[in-house]
Amino acid sequence: MAAVAALYNEFQALGVEFLAISTDSRFVHKIWQEVELSKMVEGGVPFPMLSDPGGKIGAVYGVYDEAAGVDVRGRFIIDPDFVVRAVEVLVPEVGRNPRELRRQIQAFQHVRATGEVTPSGWEPGKPALKPGPDLVGRVWEVWKP
């Protein structure tokens, strides 16, 4: 979360908003913000941290572990039409990559704006693919892994 907060201005420039949701209480969030996060990122996390006691939101998104009473760490890219476009769920021992998150958001924005599709590892400014029958058997001409 702190790594995303460190790049928050870059995400805002893309028109992205964040919500952090966990089963922790708002009091735990407040202490975590004051004691931990504010030392990692100046001013702490600049987006809302919401409390989901009982894991109702986590259950809807498939990350609530009922036996443990906690949400498993995950991230969701939700487009302007409220469609979930990407999900990443990792065990706590492995951190997520906010630069990859940014790249994926840029790819989804490119797809939405152009109707093109982005191949694996696509970066802004690199060729995208125009779907259609003319592409079949010719992807190799446009994209190299």
pLDDT tens digit string along 75-127? 999 999 999 999 999 888 888 899 999 999 999 999 999 999 999 889 999 98
CA distances from 145 to 42, 57, 100, 118, 122 (A): 38, 38, 17, 12, 9
Q: How, if at all, do strands 84-89 and 20-22 pair?
A: unpaired
Q: What is the pTM of this model?
A: 0.88
Q: Which residue type sits at 114? A: T
**For residues 112 and 80, what is the distance between their CA atoms, to the nearest angstrom?**
10
Say yes or no to pLDDT of 145 above 80. Answer: no
Q: Which residue type sits at 67? A: A
Share of the chain above pLDDT 90, in %: 79
Q: What pLDDT score was predicted for residue 142?
A: 78
Encoding tokens for residue 128? Answer: 């995208």
Q: What's the pLDDT tens digit per position in 61-75?
A: 999 999 999 999 999
Q: What pLDDT score was predicted for residue 144?
A: 78
The domain limits of the chain are 2-92
Q: What pLDDT score was predicted for residue 68?
A: 94
Q: Can you name the CATH fold of 2-92?
A: Glutaredoxin (3.40.30)
Mean pLDDT (the chain, rounded)? 93
Three-state DSSP class for residue 91: coil
Would you say 58 and 20 are in contact if contact means Cβ atoms under 8 Å apart?
no
